[in-house]
Structures are given as C-alpha cells and as structure tokens.
Amino acid sequence: MFSSIKADYPKNNYKIYLSDNLSKNIEQYLKTFNNKSILIVADDYFTNKINLPDKQLHNLFTSYNHIFIGGGVESKNLNGAIVILDKLNQMNMTRDGCIVAMGGGVIGDLCSFVASLYQRGISLVHVPTTLTSAVDSSIGGKTGINMYDAVNLLGTYYHPSASFIDLRFMKTLEGRDFSAGVAESIKKSFIYDREFYNFIYNNSEKIFNKDYNYLYDLIYKSISIKLFHTISDEKEKSIRLLLNYGHTFGQAFESVYGINAKSLRHGEAVSLGMMCAAQMSESLYGNKTIIREHSEILTKYTLPTKLSCLKNIKIPNVENLFRRLIKDKKRTVQGNRFVICRSIGSAKIEHITDNNLIKSSFDLVLQ
C-alpha cells in the first residue's frame, strides 16, 4: 500500500507520499539535508514515544534538533511562531535548512508560516498525524495563525518540499478528532463529487474502524480533489474558493467560542457551517432534499448538525454570530461570499447581501 502523488503547482512541485509505513522513506529523505540543519517541530503528544508508530520514527528525535509544541489551537498564534523562531535562531539555521512539521493542522500551519518567513523561506516537510491535516490542511500551500479571534488572520502561501502521510498515525486518533477530520472529506464530496459522497456514506463503519484500505481511499481521493481545486488557483481567486464550503458560517462559530477546540473542533464548526449552507441552498434554489442529505451523512460520523448535539456549550445569539462574519477572509467590499451547493457535487459562490437570509441560515443549527 503505497502511493506517490505529484503536487504539480505552476512554480512549485513536490511529492505527497501515502502509505501504511513511511518511516524508512522519511529517514532517507532527511538524509538529503545536513543533520545540523534540520529542526523537527512535533506535537507534544509525541513526547511519549509509545504514541509513535515505531522506534524508527522515535530515533529521529535523537538524530536531529527538535522541539515539542502543544497541538491545540491555543498554540496557533504569534507566540507559537516565536517559539519556533527562537529555536531556529539558537541553531543559527541557514537558508538550506529544513523544518519538519510532525503533528496536526496547528503544527503544520505554524511550521509552514515560520518556514515561509524565516530568511525569506526555508525547506519544509509535512508529516501530518491527524486526519484533518492529512486530507486538507497540509495540502495546497496555505499557512496561517490566528489573531484577534479571527481564524488564520495572518498567513502566507508556501508549499513543502515533500509530505509523508503515514496511515498508522490515524490509528491513534480519538473519536471526536477523527470525525472532525472526516468533515473535511465530506466537504469535498459536497462541492465536487457525488460518488465520493456515496463512498463516505456507505462505508462509515469501515472508515470509523480505521480499516487501512478505506482510510487510504478516503485520503487519496480527498487529496486529489484538493489538488484539482488548488493547482490552477493557488491564491484563491476562483475555483479554490469552493473548498471553503461551510467555513464562512463555521468560522463565525469558532470565533464566538474564542477559537477554543475544547468547546468546538474545527471540523465540528465546518459541519455546523455546512448545515447552515444547506439551509441557504434550500432557500435560494428550492432544493428540498439537501438538508436531509447533509444531516444523514454528518450524523453517521457523529458530527454536529445542531449546536445542541455538543455537550456543555452555550447557544450564542444569532446577532452575535452575524457580526462575526465581517472578519471572514472571503468577504469583499460587496459583502460576504458564501459557497453554496445547488445539489450534491455542484457548488457555486454567491454574494449574499440579504441579512435575513443569512440569519435564518444560522437559525437552523441554533437548537
């Protein structure tokens, strides 16, 4: 079980390796750098070596400079970036050096952000260890940190030199975190591929049980869809915008809870956002089945379709959520842009200026 997927961007290209055992491949790749010019930035979950798939990966920490950073969203800010920069400065890292990001979306985004800025850019290697990072955040070259309660307010576009997705890391994920990752794959099926929707819907038990064959297909297809939407539109001017399905509404939810993953995982926010978008689709296009189609597949993966599905969470006021939309990065001078699915597999971008329509779309999940 091994794939080498080529990410062939106009000015950058690299390989994405997908397998159920990539320890030797990672080790061999890092040997192309001077061992004093490598910094591994890993989620502090891996300070306990039993959380790593094998001894070979653990040996990387004895071979190279490394630091551990909390993988929670509270690390995804300027302070987290400065921790990495301080270490690079301490190492006197040169421009031919390399940062290895071993962790989920937070670690990947932080390392990408720093790698793009340090000495105007040094090499970056992704080793995503969560489903969210494997199917989405490590692909496409976006970097970002949160600021002023806004998700990814600061960021750049910067591609890695290689990415290694080892399926064994997915086995370590707890249910809520795993489901949050599936949300990003479901999103891709909604905007682009009805057959992928059917695959995810019909194989929920196999995927939930982390059967390698089904996980492999889920990740491979998700990467393919992400590459299709980003290779021709790196800077998000047209088709790449569709990948933000559920995110305009979802980031309002994240913002209102202070970007706190304990209250609300990113994938859960996207799930709620997709339900809001489904309500907007019904209102605009008269699609009477789309809310049900969203609810059924999200429920299969224990993703929230209403805020009441989540425990110990305060239901926000719709006016509060509405105000948060002004911080959405897709907003233009004309107002907010929403990605809406006319039907499963067919998405488009709409400028929505009807405030009552936006608020009524939020209302669907405020129960």
Q: Where are the beta strands (DSSP E) in the chain?
A: 2-8, 13-19, 38-43, 65-69, 98-103, 123-128, 145-147, 150-154, 162-166, 336-343, 346-352
Burial of 314 (0-12, 13-18, 19+ CB in 10 A): exposed
Query: Domain boundary at 148, 172, 196, which?
Result: 172
- Give percent of the chain with pLDDT exceeding 90: 92
CATH code of the domain containing 9: 3.40.50.1970
Angle in degrees, CA 126, 128, 134, rounded to 5? 110
Per-residue model confidence as pLDDT tens digits over 139-189: 999 999 999 988 899 999 999 999 999 999 999 999 999 999 999 999 999
Shared domain check, 320 and 255: yes
Would you place residue 103 in the very low, low, confident or very high pLDDT band (cuts 50, 70, 90)? very high
Domain termination residue (choose one: 151, 172, 193): 172
Range of the domain at 113: 2-172
User: Do both 37 and 84 map to the same domain?
Assistant: yes
Q: Is the Cβ–Cβ distance between 336 and 352 less than 8 Å?
A: yes
For the record, the structure tokens of 70 come out as: 């909390």
> pLDDT (tens digit, 9 = 90+) per residue, 207-233?
999 999 999 999 999 999 999 999 999
Q: Is the pLDDT of residue 258 over 90?
A: no
- Average pLDDT for the chain: 95
**Same domain (yes/no): 217, 126:** no
Structure tokens at 364: 């669907």
Structural domains counted in the chain:
2
The reply to whether 45 and 149 lie within a common domain is yes
